[in-house]
Structure 1
Amino acid sequence: MAASSELQGVHQPGPVTVRSISLPSRLHPRADRLEAVLNRLKSSQISSPSVLVPLGAETIQTGLVGLAELYNCLEELINSPHTQQALLLYENGKLIEEALDGSVTLLDACGTARDMIFTMKGHVQTLQSALRRKGVDSRIESDVHSYLHFRKKVKRDIVKCLKALKRAESKAAFSPLLDLDHHLSMVVRVLKEASAITISIFRALFLFLSLRTMKTNTTRLSLISRLMPMKLLCSTEGQKIVNEVGSVDVALSSLPGHLRNNDAKNEVQLARRMLDTLHLSIDDIENGLDCISRRLVQNRVSFLNILAQW
């Protein structure tokens, strides 16, 4: 509960500066693609500072796919001889050092998210196997307790990650450098906007994983009754909102009591469906994070290679 209340103080998305960027076509034949990808991500729901409802797995996955495309475009920009020369000449590589410093936080956030997803996937698979066993027994209570304990620990870890992302966001906030030429100014702007978008997507992912369990004042209500007033991924004012992670939290929170009363058939079936949906969702997110991790590592290597030329 302490971690949940802490989240309320740090989870609000910071604004992503929206600027119209114009990349010279002579820089690279695919410059227009980079501009399009940046602008598409900046205008998407996942990067919007006004979104206060929990996002679903599909939105997160779409953001990760777009982010991978963005870093592919950035590689082409960074590997341009014109760009490399400009970065090296400005204050003895100061901008490269700043980019490398920021990349550490992004890599740490990506690694933490991957670890969380991997562990959650293991718990989900264990629960799926337990609920498929013929003759559901009390051993499931231990599996449910283990999963819910993991969820509480995740929320505490996410608080730390969100704070680290907030610090990185403030440190890398866009501020025009008036003494830069047009090309270098454009490169700096693109890199900072890419960093801001990456932070926004990681923030959305952590919030997806930290969604608080919905509670009801009537503990004797069946699981189905508890889920009925909740509309999955709905932003309608006044309605309770859950995503794939939250729906499993709700499904599991009352399951042990029904198991002890031997009236869990419907609840088990519903919990299995929720777990199946979550399993598919985290599979997609896990693949997306693996891809982003490789892109972030390559991005860091590219900057290190530029410094090696100095």
Structure 2
Amino acid sequence: MKSKMAVSRFHFRSISLPSRLHPINTPKTENQLQKLKSWQISNSPSQTPPITSEAIQFGLLKLAELYNSVSLLHQDGKSVEKSLESSVELLDFCNIIRELIMTIKENVQALQSALRRKGLDCSIQIDINTYFSFRKRMNKIIAKSLKKNKNFENKSGPTGVLSEVGGATLDIFKCILMFLSSKSGGWNFVFTKSVDASVISEMGSVDFALRTLLGKFKNNGAKVVDIQNLRRKLQNFEACLEEIERGLERLFRQLVRSRVALLNVLTDHLK
């Protein structure tokens, strides 16, 4: 990243379709692709705020509309085979991210439970440090997943709307992974003396509140209001994760339906 507070630009492949794919290149599909491109621009590094759960939810919604607008009529066999191969990887990738979110949510819930039980008891510091240790392990998994995403993006294949849809799906996956990453979510800001809340994502906001609480415990300045504030942030973050999780579940079902449709088209080509 060029800046710790920057969000990487997500590039969409340019659309250039041969005439034989015209039945797929419908105005509705083009419109949905343009909406996703607008979403991409709104998350560019030229803007200060990082990726938020709201932006991700909007991106998932536009992606769902894009999948619903695509037709496989008159698609050539080579493109179908390539898209069919990619569909397996997209399904696998979607599952990896879903599992990551479920694991994070479980750890957030565990921390919430500890806060309810212990309150201002100094032993809560152990639970906070346990959460941070988990986040560090998770970051390694996310880094590997981002690398996998990059390798997938670099694979060459036939151009067309199906390729565009696959590229858009990968961009959404990248966006979610960056949202879940400490490095882009606010981890790097927690050691500063003052932080503008507008430049921290929901996850980064939790990180900052946790670090602040640890500092207050160290100086014997922790108060009940600090615990209450942290609990609100954790509840908000959990709700954000649940919304993204639901969006990914819908996307997973769409990816399954898309794969079935591709298999049917390929079967027709082989007849």
- TM-score range (shorter-chain normalised) is 0.7 to 0.9
TM, length-normalised to structure 1: 0.73
Residue 229 of structure 1: CA displacement? 2.8
How far apart, CA to CA, are the structure 2 residues paired with 1:23 and 1:62? 32
- Cα pair 2:36 2:59 within 8 Å, conserved: yes
- Cα pair 2:9 2:40 within 8 Å, conserved: no
How far apart, CA to CA, are the structure 2 residues paired with 1:170 and 1:52? 26
How far apart, CA to CA, are the structure 2 residues paired with 1:111 and 1:47? 26
- Cα pair 2:15 2:161 within 8 Å, conserved: no
Q: Between Structure 1 and Structure 2, whose CA radius of gyration is higher?
A: 1
- For structure 1, the residue ranges without an aligned partner over 5 or more in a row are 176-187, 219-225, 233-240
Match of 2:196 among 219, 222, 230: 230
Distance 1:205 1:55, change over 3 A: same
**Higher mean displacement: 272-281 or 39-48:** 39-48
- Cα pair 2:213 2:222 within 8 Å, conserved: yes
Match of 2:82 among 95, 98, 102: 98
- Cα pair 2:43 2:51 within 8 Å, conserved: no
Distance 1:139 1:300, change over 3 A: farther
Amino acid at match of 1:273: R
1:240-279 to 2 correspondence within 5 Å? 241-259=199-217, 262-265=220-223, 266-279=225-238
Count matched residues. Answer: 260
2:161 aligned partner: 190
1:64 aligned partner: 60
Match of 1:201 among 163, 166, 172: 172
Q: Does 1:42 align with 2:8?
A: no
Residue 64 of structure 1: CA displacement? 0.7
How far apart, CA to CA, are the structure 1 residues paired with 2:88 and 2:173? 14
Amino acid at match of 2:97: A
How far apart, CA to CA, are the structure 1 residues paired with 2:108 and 2:149? 28
2:97 aligned partner: 113
How far apart, CA to CA, are the structure 1 residues paired with 2:254 and 2:176? 17
Match of 2:128 among 137, 144, 164: 144
The Cα offsets for residues 154-207 of structure 1, whole Å up to 9 and x where unpaired, read as: 21111111111112212146x6xxxxxxxxxxxx52111111111111111111
How far apart, CA to CA, are the structure 2 residues paired with 1:289 and 1:23? 33
2:245 aligned partner: 286
- Cα pair 1:158 1:206 within 8 Å, conserved: yes
1:167 aligned partner: 151
- Cα pair 1:47 1:201 within 8 Å, conserved: no
- Cα pair 1:214 1:250 within 8 Å, conserved: no
- Cα pair 2:190 2:208 within 8 Å, conserved: no
Residue 141 of structure 1: CA displacement? 2.6
How far apart, CA to CA, are the structure 2 residues paired with 1:215 and 1:44? 25
How far apart, CA to CA, are the structure 2 residues paired with 1:51 and 1:113? 27
Match of 2:188 among 214, 232, 247: 214
How far apart, CA to CA, are the structure 2 residues paired with 1:298 and 1:151? 34
What RMSD over aligned residues (CA atoms) do the two structures have, in Å? 3.2
Residue 208 of structure 1: CA displacement? 0.6
